[in-house]
Amino acid sequence: MPSNADHELVGVMRAALQGRGVSDACFDLLQARLAALVPLSSPAASPSDDLTLPAVLCPSGLARAALDALGTEWDDGDEAFVRERLDAWSRDETVADVATRLLAAADTLAKTQVRPATLIFFLWELESVLEGLSAERRDSR
């Protein structure tokens, strides 16, 4: 994916969540996060212990504010669809493994016609995973 091109999911999110209180800055943050995950997902990426997460992948008040505005309208089907793609990793996996799973889930969601609630749940899960990675990085220092 070229670094100057939006990930397809960003366009899907913009169309699905337009007029729901999500600012352009939030969509820009999503794009920056997806772009930052690309080099981390490379098999040549440093092992988890040696990796410093880019600042854009750290927890964000901007993202949390958007999520609070969107609410929690998803149902078990939305949650199951996203979790099926994200919950397979274990604590033993590297940052590269996690980045790969996040990008694969984003690719799938971009190409699958899903409800806006499914996209909202993915955003919640993305933020949670990034918070977990940041906490692990802090705790390992």
pTM, 2 dp:
0.83
CA-based nearest residue to 17, from 120, 125, 126, 127? 120
CB count, 10 Å around CB of 36?
16
- pLDDT 10s digits, 115-125: 999 999 999 99
Residue 1's pLDDT is: 39
pLDDT under 50 in the chain at which residues?
A: 1-3, 49-50
Unique residue bearing structure tokens 């590269």: 96
Span 14-28, pLDDT tens digits: 999 988 888 899 999
